[in-house]
Amino acid sequence: MKIIVTGGLGFIGSALIRYLLNKTNNKILNIDILSKVSMPEALENLNKSKNYKFLKLNIVNKVKIENAITKFSPDLVFHLAAESHVDNSIISPSDFIKSNIVGTFNLLESCRKYLKRKPSKLTKFRLIHISTDEVYGSLKIKQKAFDEKSQYRPNSPYSASKASSDHLVRAWYKTYKIPSIITHCSNNYGPWQFPEKLIPLMISRGIQNKSMPIYGDGKNIRDWLFVEDHIKALIKIAKKGKIGETYNIGGDEESSNLKVVNLICSNLDEKFPFNAPHHRLIKFVKDRKGHDFRYSINYKKIQKTLNFSPSVKLQKGIKKTVDWYIQNYHWLINKSRS
């Protein structure tokens, strides 16, 4: 199968490509802008593979993305290319509008033109648009988890841009019959995540004996999903998901930011005892603007229809993640300084 992955040098995209090339005889085209947060080293050992090709390209470039799709002639597209850090979206929202909205529009139009030229591909072609639970907004403690019918209530420029891209994908499916599926995942974590996100950032700060800043009082709650579980869900959706549907992918692991950081500290105390106890480094800082209180994902639909359930519990996942970052200490510190 010929597969395009946009944003394949990112955290989730690179994990997906490693899985696709290790498990099957797929041909992969990785389209990535190669930005500050890209990680070509995560796929370094694939560069000699005859089934893997990298194309440096910004999906905002409509002509080039159209040419790339036409030339490669994919059967499947996983769309992960996106600006994704909420803090950055508050500082520079225009970057998120360009990448997440205009970029998705360009991809959809390129797929539409490609399928119009090659109608025989329609029955086999799939576009999997990977989105976020943040499009649903924020929950209170006693509110039910988000499901696929939850109303969109984005609260940050990032989540608003992703909500917009979701609507574009749905509209191109309804209007132009682009065979597409939308997924919403909860907070991913695991090896190779760029240290601007909470878990790798806290590990990096703890290893360097630096303060570990937590927004507000640390009681904000997230549902945590180990990246390998996310990849397995995406593969199931690509193979057996129903065209035009939306699937929520959750980790079934709700935890406050403070509890997650304390769990990291406990693992660092055991594995990296030089700076122990690490919890002394925790520092509460001014809360960020529009900080959603709680995310929670109801994944019963994908569990029932595609037999998916997350397998990695948070304690085990954090342990594996801390171990990996300690083993890759120099990479982590270099990325933290970039």
Q: Which residues are catalytic?
A: 133-134, 158
**Closest alpha carbon to 132 in 111, 112, 157, 115:** 157
Q: Is the CA virtual torsion 158, 54, 18, 39 positive or negative?
A: negative
> Alpha-carbon dihedral of residues 240, 169, 310, 42, nearest 10 degrees?
100
Beta bridge partners of 78: 5, 128
Q: Report how far residue 84's alpha carbon sits from residue 96's, in angstroms, rounded to the nearest whole number.
A: 8
Which positions ≥6 away from 185 have C-beta within 8 Å?
130, 131, 132, 133, 225, 230, 233, 248, 249, 250, 297
Q: Report how far residue 285's alpha carbon sits from residue 283's, in angstroms, rounded to the nearest whole number.
A: 6
Q: Report how far residue 137's alpha carbon sits from residue 154's, in angstroms, rounded to the nearest whole number.
A: 5
Q: Report how far residue 246's alpha carbon sits from residue 228's, in angstroms, rounded to the nearest whole number.
A: 20
